[in-house]
């Protein structure tokens, strides 16, 4: 197809610091097998350590139109912008993008070279937003990174793909999203500015497009997040943040979330089976947990096999990303399952979160506001 017939894409990558496998994640954008795209890196601070790294990459890929925008277009309280640092950071890129299709992809995400082409091909009919399944791959074996990897490759992957397959409502994570700038401006005249008032800008953006007849499409490509030295505490607070944000966005789904986890559903399932049939509740519970574990084991290895294959195809990877032995896998899986309910309870008991070093309070209308660092953060 001649270049004039290929839809142009502006890739927006918000950057703050250099995260795990930063160079490889950035290179994966430059190496997209697509003939018509530009890359815009949005960085708040001109002295950010990522700037010289990106400048070096730009010099290596001179054939790719690239810009590095430093400084936010606006900050909280200015020009009607809210407290969301990611949206405020992206505002310049949104305004200066040359193409109608925008691909917003986080700086800690790696993608296969064919990802962009396959995503653009999905913009047909009523599809107005294309997104990808996020998957974490541990590069270090640290407990926090392993727990993240386990969650994203088992429970989250099952429900995220399941909800999107049914397609009765939008369910979108902001790790990697493509949408048309013109569609967003038609649905929200303020553009990105409107979403700066919410921390859950990904879900709010998808709901705004959905309400204007634009549907979402989850494609088969994975967006891989390499994780390294992540502690248990970091995992705990990340999950806490996700749930506290979701409880005002999708309240009903968040309230029933514990009943979709293995242990709670096994307990009430065992009680029901025992009451109805007289079968031992414990016998049912252990059978239930065993089958759930086997299913998660299959899902985990199916996703992970593809993720590792894609990563190793394009750059050398640490040996630690190789598949865990079953005993180690079972230990991480059990830890993830046992932690699910305590994290949910802790999340439901508070409304403050920490994101990118900033503390926010999530209000009942899903808006966010910065709070003093002196205010205690509930567990």
| Active site residues per annotation | 202
Structure tokens at 54: 């990106």
* Region of residue 191 (phi > 0: left; psi between -120 and 50: alpha; otherwise: beta): left
DSSP states of 54-83: HHHHHHHTTTS-EEEEES-S--TTSTT--S
Look at the alpha carbons of 313, 30, 193, 352 in this order and tell me if their dihedral is positive or negative. positive
Contact 195, 204 (CB under 8 A): yes
Order of all β-strands in the sheet with 127-138: 66-70, 37-43, 9-15, 101-105, 176-180, 127-138, 215-227
Question: Given phi > 0 = left and psi -120 to 50 = alpha, else beta, which region is 353?
Answer: beta
DSSP bridge partners of 354: 359
CB 75 within 8 A of CB 62: no
């Amino acid at each position: 197809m001649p270049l004039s017939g290929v839809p142009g894409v502006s890739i927006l990558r918000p950057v703050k610091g250099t995260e795990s496998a930063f160079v490889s994640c950035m290179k994966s954008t430059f190496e997209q097998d697509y003939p018509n795209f530009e890359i815009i890196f949005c960085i708040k601070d001109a002295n950010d350590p990522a700037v010289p790294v990106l400048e070096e990459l730009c010099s290596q890929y001179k054939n790719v139109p690239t810009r590095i925008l430093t400084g936010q277009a606006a900050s909280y309280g200015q020009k009607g912008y809210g407290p969301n640092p990611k949206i405020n950071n992206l505002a310049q890129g949104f305004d200066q993008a040359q193409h109608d299709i925008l691909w917003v992809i986080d700086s800690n995400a790696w993608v296969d070279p064919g990802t962009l082409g396959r995503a653009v091909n999905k913009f047909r009919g009523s599809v107005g937003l294309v997104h990808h399944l996020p998957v974490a791959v541990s590069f270090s074996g640290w407990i926090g990174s392993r727990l993240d990897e386990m969650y994203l490759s088992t429970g989250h992957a099952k429900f995220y793909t399941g909800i999107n397959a049914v397609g009765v409502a939008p369910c979108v994570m902001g790790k990697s999203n493509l949408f048309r700038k013109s569609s967003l401006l038609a649905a929200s005249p303020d553009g990105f500015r409107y979403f700066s008032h919410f921390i859950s800008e990904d879900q709010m953006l998808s709901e705004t497009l959905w309400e204007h007849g634009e549907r979402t499409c989850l494609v088969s490509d994975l967006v891989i997040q390499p994780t390294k030295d992540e502690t248990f505490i970091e995992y705990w607070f990340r999950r806490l943040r996700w749930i506290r944000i979701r409880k005002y966005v999708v309240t009903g789904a968040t309230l029933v979330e514990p009943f979709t986890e293995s242990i709670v559903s096994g307990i009430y399932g065992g009680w029901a089976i025992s009451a109805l049939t007289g079968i031992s509740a414990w016998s049912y519970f252990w059978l239930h947990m065993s089958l759930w574990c086997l299913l998660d084991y299959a899902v985990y290895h199916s996703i992970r096999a593809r993720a590792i294959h894609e990563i190793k195809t394009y750059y050398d990877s640490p040996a630690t990303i190789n598949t865990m032995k079953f005993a180690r896998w079972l230990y991480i899986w059990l830890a993830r399952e046992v932690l699910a309910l305590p994290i949910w309870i802790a999340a439901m008991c508070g409304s403050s979160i920490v994101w990118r070093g900033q503390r926010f309070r999530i209000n009942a209308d899903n808006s966010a506001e910065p709070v003093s660092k002196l205010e205690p953060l509930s567990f």
